[in-house]
């Protein structure tokens, strides 16, 4: 017998998966495709790791008396009953970003193969036929490609095809024009995309709204030279309509990796020379499989430790939106900065979320803020599970406030607290640029712009000449290197704030020396853990 949590691996996974789980778990294996073996093996395990062959349905969940986590080492969840798992209190996680590079590269491969007639030329040559003149193709260079769905994979495809010298347009009603413009992509409606595109690549999820999105009416609006690629989900492109369009020359060619019903080995599309097809290979690379295994192993570790799992699909009953996820670590850091600046716990704590992400469920950002606030306050390990309990035990009233409007930033997260003496402390942060870089942009009403590095300090003093130089000189003498510095003031000759990010923690005696030298009214150092 062992006290270690039991993890059941029900399908063959990368060896790196077990390595990522580490020594803290008892690892068991079974053949998840064998129903009887699965139902017997799942009874007393804490977590199960699967791929696509193991069905974790209501029956399996009912048999699993101790189960806490179902981890799918991949993107799709067709084989997991998420609703039944949620009702049973079982977390479901997957690896949503594990295959994005592999899927994007396959889409480009299919596009090139279709453009250059690679499949029929290869088949002819293997059949002893040398047909150079028959299989002439077209270049991608200086052509227009339409990306249908500008999510993570669509963005990667757009970046790669831009490098081919293509003009990139996209259709995605859930993406802001400004965000697309940052990537050099012009947003258009679907009809315009069909009319302008020489090549077209589909990268949408399969939903009731997207099923059959590209049908006969849409294909009738396309150029006769269009090369269409679908490496996303089968059924988004109507296969009967696509066959007719390819057969009659309404469009030129297609590259397909997915089909409405899979496995698919018998389709009229396979009879056409202007179709190149693969058997759903989007995620079938060594790298994608290894990434998926490692990602879900990490999620299992987090889940069984009571931590927030960003890749959980049913956390708090719903998905953590893709646009919200980058704000989680930023908000946790803001919580730590708040505690460092306040020097005590607030009686009332408001987590304010402004901007586009306020349209999503941002409850997770409240949890992140609390975890950050308490991380240096209590001796016990703080998790996303116990942080609200810690707040309740200490009489901290917490509110989550949202507003879709943000005057100065696309999105802004603020933690604002009222202290015992009635004074208020606030810190704000945002994410900037395509790479979503974290920035600390406000402290107690002072506008700043610094990266929230591991070591930060804030000095408030009466605004007068020479103070910045004095701070720099003292830090230099203490061998503390300044990585970034911002000076802000409420008025000329009024109160000023120096915000510093430094490469190492500032010694207590150095802080005291600075406080004395500049007659600081407030001095705070924050070490983000």
CATH number of the domain within which 445 lies: 3.30.1330.90
- 179 pLDDT band, cuts 50/70/90, is confident
Q: Which of 374, 295, 302, 381 is nearest to 332 (CA)?
A: 374
Same domain, 176 and 226: yes
Give yes or no for a contact between 150 and 158, defined as CB atoms under 8 angstroms apart. Answer: yes
* Model confidence at 319: pLDDT above 80: no
What token pair was written down for 122?
Answer: 């290869």
* Model confidence at 318: pLDDT above 60: no
* Model confidence at 2: pLDDT above 80: no
Which CATH number do you get for residue 300? 3.40.50.720
Each residue's pLDDT tens digit, 90-139: 888 888 788 899 999 999 999 999 999 999 999 999 999 999 999 999 99
Residue 346, domain extent = 327-527
Same domain, 197 and 310: no
**Residues annotated catalytic, as ranges:** 233, 262, 280
* Sheet of strand 199-202, all strands in order from the earlier edge strand to the far edge: 186-187, 167-171, 144-148, 199-202, 227-230, 253-256, 275-277
What is the rounded average pLDDT of the residues 312-335?
79
pLDDT value at residue 220:
97
pLDDT value at residue 317:
40
Question: Per the domain annotation, does 44 fall within a domain?
Answer: yes
Share of the chain above pLDDT 70, in %: 97
Give CA separation, 500 vs 143, 329, 478, 503, 522, in Å: 49, 20, 15, 10, 14
Q: Mean pLDDT for the chain?
A: 91
Same domain, 237 and 299: no
Q: Which residues contact 77 (CB under 8 A, 6 or more apart)?
A: 92, 94, 313
Q: 3-state SS of the chain: helix, strand, coil percent to 5?
A: 35, 25, 45
How do 275-277 and 455-462 pair as beta strands? unpaired
Same domain, 134 and 211: yes
What is the rounded average pLDDT of the residues 221-244?
96
Q: Whole-angstrom Cα distance, residue 415 to residue 348?
A: 11
pLDDT value at residue 71:
94
Question: Per the domain annotation, does 435 fall within a domain?
Answer: yes
Give yes or no for a contact between 230 and 202, defined as CB atoms under 8 angstroms apart. Answer: yes
Specify the range with the lowest mean pLDDT, choosing from 4-18, 373-387, 515-529: 373-387
What is the rounded average pLDDT of the residues 516-521?
93
pLDDT value at residue 383:
65
CA angle (156 as vertex; 173, 450 as ends), nearest 5: 85
* Domain end marker among 277, 306, 335: 277
pLDDT value at residue 115:
98
Q: Number of structural domains, the chain?
A: 3
- 344 pLDDT band, cuts 50/70/90, is confident
Largest CA distance in the chain: 89
Give CA separation, 382 vs 371, 391, 413, in Å: 6, 11, 21
Same domain, 10 and 61: yes
Q: Which residue has the higher pLDDT, 305 or 228?
A: 228
What token pair was written down for 372?
Answer: 């950050």
What is the rounded average pLDDT of the residues 329-345?
92
- 381 pLDDT band, cuts 50/70/90, is low
pLDDT value at residue 315:
56
Cis amide prior to 199 (ω within 30 degrees)? no
Same domain, 312 and 345: no
Each residue's pLDDT tens digit, 181-214: 888 999 999 999 999 999 999 998 777 778 899 9
Same domain, 51 and 126: no
What pTM value is reported for the model?
Answer: 0.62
What is the rounded average pLDDT of the residues 463-492?
91
Can you spell out the DSSP letters for 493-513?
TSEEEEEEEESSPPPHHHHHH
* Model confidence at 401: pLDDT above 70: yes
Give yes or no for a contact between 171 and 190, defined as CB atoms under 8 angstroms apart. Answer: yes
């Amino acid at each position: 017998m062992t006290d270690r949590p039991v993890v059941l691996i029900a399908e063959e996974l990368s060896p790196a998966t077990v390595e990522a789980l580490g020594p803290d778990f008892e690892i068991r294996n079974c053949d998840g495709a064998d129903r009887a073996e699965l139902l017997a093996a799942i009874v007393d395990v804490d977590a199960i790791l699967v791929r696509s062959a193991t069905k974790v349905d209501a029956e399996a969940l009912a048999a699993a008396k101790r189960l806490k986590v179902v981890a799918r080492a991949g993107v799709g969840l067709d084989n997991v009953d998420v609703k039944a798992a949620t009702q049973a209190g079982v977390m479901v996680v997957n690896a949503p970003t594990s295959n994005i590079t592999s899927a994007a590269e396959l889409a480009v491969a299919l596009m090139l193969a279709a453009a250059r007639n690679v499949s029929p030329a290869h088949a002819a040559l293997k059949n002893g036929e040398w047909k150079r003149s028959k299989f002439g193709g077209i270049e991608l260079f200086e052509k227009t490609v339409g990306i249908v769905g500008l999510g993570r994979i669509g963005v990667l495809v757009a970046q790669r095809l831009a490098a081919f010298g293509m003009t990139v347009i996209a259709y995605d009603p859930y993406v802001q024009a400004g965000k697309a413009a940052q990537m050099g992509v012009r947003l258009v409606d679907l009809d315009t995309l069909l009319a302008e595109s020489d090549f077209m690549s589909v990268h949408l999820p399969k939903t009731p709204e997207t099923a059959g999105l590209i049908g006969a009416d849409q294909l009738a609006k396309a150029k006769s030279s269009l090369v269409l690629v679908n490496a996303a989900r089968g059924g988004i492109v109507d296969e009967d309509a696509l066959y007719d369009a390819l057969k009659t020359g309404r469009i030129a060619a297609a590259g397909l990796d997915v089909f409405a019903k899979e496995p698919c080995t018998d389709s009229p599309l396979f009879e056409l020379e202007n179709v190149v097809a693969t058997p759903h290979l989007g995620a079938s690379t060594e790298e994608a499989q290894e990434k998926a295994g490692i990602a879900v192993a990490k999620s299992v570790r987090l889940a069984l430790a009571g931590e927030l799992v960003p890749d959980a699909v049913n956390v708090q009953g719903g998905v953590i939106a893709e646009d919200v996820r980058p704000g989680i670590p930023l908000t946790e850091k803001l919580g730590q900065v708040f505690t460092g600046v306040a020097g005590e716990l607030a009686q009332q704590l408001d987590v304010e979320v402004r901007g586009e992400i306020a349209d999503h469920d941002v409850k997770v950002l409240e949890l992140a803020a609390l975890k950050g606030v308490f991380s240096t306050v209590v001796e016990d390990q703080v998790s996303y599970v116990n942080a609200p309990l810690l707040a309740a035990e200490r009489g901290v009233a917490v509110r989550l406030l949202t507003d879709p409007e943000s005057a100065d930033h696309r999105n802004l997260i603020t933690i604002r607290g009222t202290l015992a003496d009635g004074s208020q402390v606030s810190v704000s942060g945002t994410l900037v640029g395509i790479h979503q870089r974290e920035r600390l942009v406000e402290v107690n009403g002072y506008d700043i712009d610094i990266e929230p590095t591991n070591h930060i300090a804030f000095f408030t003093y009466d605004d007068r000449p020479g103070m910045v130089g004095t701070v720099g000189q003292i830090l230099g003498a203490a061998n503390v290197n300044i990585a970034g510095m911002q000076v802000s003031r409420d008025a000329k000759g009024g109160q000023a704030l120096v915000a510093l990010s430094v490469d190492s923690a500032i010694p207590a005696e150095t802080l005291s020396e600075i406080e004395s030298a500049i007659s600081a009214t407030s001095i705070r150092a924050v070490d983000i853990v």
